[in-house]
Amino acid sequence: MSVKKETARGYLKTIFLKTDTHRQSELIQLIMSYTLRVDADLNLQFVG
């Protein structure tokens, strides 16, 4: 599967708007601030 550069940039712009971030480094910091927690019943929960 290939994605044109313009399409990828459009997707990133949308993600930046929705996450209120302006740089890739800010977006990565936001993503890394969430941890995936697995409880004893193997239910997955995002904790942030």
Give me the residue spans of the domains in the chain: 5-47
Q: What is the pLDDT of residue 25?
A: 96
Helix (H, G, I), strand (E, B) or coil at 46: strand
**Spatial CB neighbours of 6, under 8 Å, sequence gap ≥ 6:** none
- Tell me how far apart the alpha carbons of residues 27 and 23 are, in angstroms, rounded to a whole number: 6
- Tell me how far apart the alpha carbons of residues 15 and 8 are, in angstroms, rounded to a whole number: 11
pTM above 0.75, yes or no: no
Q: What is the pLDDT of residue 30?
A: 86
Q: What is the pLDDT of residues 1-48, one digit of tens each?
A: 799 999 999 999 999 999 999 999 999 988 888 766 555 566 666 666
